[in-house]
């Protein structure tokens, strides 16, 4: 067996020690002692929120949080590029969050990245590979990222970021000096536009890279084989030559409490549908929903993300009636391009969504192909009640964790009871049962863990009758677990074809390739 293969696959040596090659991310808070000394309770609350944000970014990048140690986080990735883009996304999100805090109360993380062999023991990882990542973190500036020479070698030319060579550094408990690089904005645009945090600017470049990767993979190519386009350098500059749009999470204006899930679902479905329109560049949900609950202007969002157009809205439900207010800002001119209020019964909610989508496309002067279906209901359900129940369950599923998964179940089950052919609801149930295996869901339901697998399989079978990207993502995970790696890769690729803007499809593909035991050169290219 070639050495490269041994490096990626988990192997157990004659000594019984399991080793693998992995990309390691180590993050720690800068000045934590000072912060806790000033206000221990407030710092703890802020830290919990920020750790949740870091965990989500790691999961979205296809990584795994290995453990927390107080104010530090250790994570691993099967892809070096994914580790770096996740690190940039983390710093971008935390930069936004820190804007709401006084300078002396801001919680800033340092991040170190390394590629190395680790020892695996009961899910934890050890060894020099981890130690080097921790030393690199200590060398980073607050809010910064430092990476090893091996990481730099793997990502150079594959991400639109620049790097400062800090030279070899002798670090504690490591025999040989470590070549250290510091992440900075790409040299093609060495100075970020006025008024922009460079981490947010870098995050826009990462979004562009993700879109380029989706397009390449859709065409059957390895995403990182192609040259990524340059980042947007000012509001309105679109790297893909068409209009660029960010859809912010819609706010809930209902008198009745607990309707946020519905407003979020409306915005999320708009993002999904608009992202499929040829010639329209739409920022992914995970990026724009970072603004949820924040007071920001359209101009600020445009500057942060490098887009020209920003869509905002609110949703008001009253009994069986719904009102959706939307406005589309042209940040280049500083005015509203289009605004409208839509009133109707819940029974007409799908028609309202379709009309909003068509008006947005028309306002942006994007031409739809003759039989474009992206802005139409995809036949998932014709029942507004089933759709509402699904959105409730989906909101809990999005939050993650065993408790939230358990809360999602009755709503998703009701969605299916109302419409037995609701493919997306079946796929979501399959995902809940599958993810619940490691989240204590079996104990909560007082069933055997194997029953979770059977339920996931049953709902996946139903979901396949009206296939969605989510159904293929879950199928890929199940097939990987059964060792059917070729089929798992095919399922993940199909998920990407159905929804190329959904990063979950790429995470599934990454996991399937990892499980298949691809060589280091293939996995880290």
Sequence ranges of the domains in the chain = 3-225, 244-363, 384-523
Query: What distance in Å separates the CA atoms of residue 3 and residue 8, rounded to the nearest whole number?
Result: 9
Which uninterrupted H or E stretch holds 198?
helix 198-218
- Tokens 């095919």 correspond to what residue? 490
Q: In the numeric block, which tokens belong to residue 309?
A: 């157009």
Query: What distance in Å separates the CA atoms of residue 484 and residue 495, rounded to the nearest whole number?
Result: 17
* Residue 36 · residue 46 · CB < 8 Å: no
Three-state secondary structure call for residue 205: helix
Per DSSP, what are the bridge partners of residue 116? 22
Q: How does strand 335-345 pair with strand 109-121?
A: unpaired
Range 384-523: architecture per CATH: Alpha Horseshoe (1.25)
Say whether 384-523 and 244-363 share the same fold.
no
- The reported pLDDT for the residue numbered 209 is 42
Three-state secondary structure call for residue 263: helix
Q: Which of 43, 144, 118, 154 lies closest to 520, judged by CA? A: 154
Which DSSP symbol is given to 255? S
- The reported pLDDT for the residue numbered 313 is 93
Q: How many residues does the chain have?
A: 525
Q: In the numeric block, which tokens belong to residue 34?
A: 């000072």
Query: What distance in Å separates the CA atoms of residue 91 and residue 111, rounded to the nearest whole number?
Result: 9
Angle at 504 between CA 214 and CA 354, to 5 degrees: 80
Three-state secondary structure call for residue 169: strand
- The reported pLDDT for the residue numbered 403 is 84
- The reported pLDDT for the residue numbered 387 is 93
- The reported pLDDT for the residue numbered 386 is 94
Three-state secondary structure call for residue 447: coil
Query: What distance in Å separates the CA atoms of residue 309 and residue 244, rounded to the nearest whole number?
Result: 6
Which DSSP symbol is given to 159? S
* Residue 143 · residue 86 · CB < 8 Å: no
> Which mean pLDDT values do the consecutive 10-residue runs of the chain (525 residues) have?
33 57 92 70 80 86 84 89 90 81 84 91 84 92 93 84 90 86 60 42 44 33 30 39 84 89 90 82 80 86 87 91 93 89 89 88 75 50 91 87 87 95 92 84 87 91 87 89 88 83 74 63 36
- The reported pLDDT for the residue numbered 211 is 37
Range 3-225: architecture per CATH: 2-Layer Sandwich (3.30)
Q: Does the domain spanning 244-363 belong to CATH 3.40.50.10610?
A: yes
**Own/partner pairs, 154-159, CB within 8 angstroms, 24+ separation:** 154/80, 154/81, 154/115, 154/524, 154/525, 155/80, 155/81, 155/84, 158/81, 158/224, 158/228, 159/81, 159/84, 159/85, 159/205, 159/206, 159/209, 159/228
- The reported pLDDT for the residue numbered 112 is 96
Which uninterrupted H or E stretch holds 316?
strand 309-318
């Amino acid at each position: 067996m070639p050495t490269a293969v041994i490096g990626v696959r988990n192997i157990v040596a004659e000594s019984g020690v399991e080793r693998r090659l992995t990309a390691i991310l180590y993050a720690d808070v800068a000045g934590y002692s000072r912060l806790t000394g000033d206000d221990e309770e407030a710092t703890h609350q802020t830290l919990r929120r920020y750790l949740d944000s870091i965990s989500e970014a790691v999961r979205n990048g296809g990584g795994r949080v290995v453990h927390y140690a107080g104010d530090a986080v250790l994570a691993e990735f099967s892809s070096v590029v994914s580790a770096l883009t996740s690190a940039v996304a983390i710093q971008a999100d935390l930069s936004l969050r820190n804007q709401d805090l006084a300078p002396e109360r801001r919680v800033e993380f340092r991040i170190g990245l390394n590629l190395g062999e680790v020892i695996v023991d009961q899910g934890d990882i050890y060894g020099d590979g981890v130690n080097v990542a921790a030393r690199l973190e200590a060398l980073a500036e607050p809010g910064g990222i430092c990476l090893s020479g091996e990481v730099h070698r793997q990502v150079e030319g594959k991400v639109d970021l620049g790097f400062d060579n800090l030279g070899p550094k002798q670090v504690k408990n490591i025999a040989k000096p470590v070549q250290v690089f510091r992440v900075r904005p790409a040299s093609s645009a060495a100075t970020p536009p006025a008024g922009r945090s460079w981490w947010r600017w870098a995050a826009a470049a990462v979004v562009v890279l993700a879109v380029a990767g989706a397009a390449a993979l859709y065409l059957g190519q390895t995403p990182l084989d192609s040259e990524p386009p340059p980042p947007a350098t000012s509001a309105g500059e679109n790297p893909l030559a068409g209009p660029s749009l960010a859809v912010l999470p819609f706010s809930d204006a209902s008198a009745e409490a607990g309707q946020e899930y519905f407003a979020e679902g409306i915005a999320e479905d708009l993002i999904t549908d608009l992202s499929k329109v040829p010639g329209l560049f739409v920022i992914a949900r995970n990026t724009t929903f970072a603004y949820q609950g924040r007071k920001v202007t359209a101009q600020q969002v445009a500057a942060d993300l490098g887009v020209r157009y920003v869509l905002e809205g609110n949703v008001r439900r009253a009994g069986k009636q719904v009102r959706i207010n939307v406005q589309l800002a042209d940040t280049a001119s500083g005015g509203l391009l289009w605004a409208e209020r839509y009133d109707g019964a819940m029974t007409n909610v799908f028609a309202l969504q379709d009309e909003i989508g068509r008006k947005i496309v028309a306002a942006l002067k994007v031409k739809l192909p003759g039989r474009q279906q992206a802005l139409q209901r995809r036949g998932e359900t014709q029942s507004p009640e089933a759709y509402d129940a699904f959105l409730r369950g989906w909101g809990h599923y999005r939050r993650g964790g065993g408790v939230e998964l358990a809360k999602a179940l009755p709503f998703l089950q009701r969605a299916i009871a109302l419409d037995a052919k609701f493919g997306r609801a079946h796929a979501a149930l399959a995902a809940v049962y599958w993810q619940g295996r490691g989240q204590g869901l079996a104990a909560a339901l007082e069933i055997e863990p194997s029953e979770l697998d059977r339920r996931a399989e049953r709902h996946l079978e139903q979901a396949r009758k009206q296939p969605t990207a989510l159904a293929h993502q879950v199928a890929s995970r199940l097939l990987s677990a059964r060792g059917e790696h070729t089929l798992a890769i095919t399922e993940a690729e199909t998920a990407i074809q159905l929804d190329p803007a959904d990063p979950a499809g790429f995470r599934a593909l990454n996991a399937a390739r990892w499980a298949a035991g691809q060589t280091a050169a293939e996995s880290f290219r």
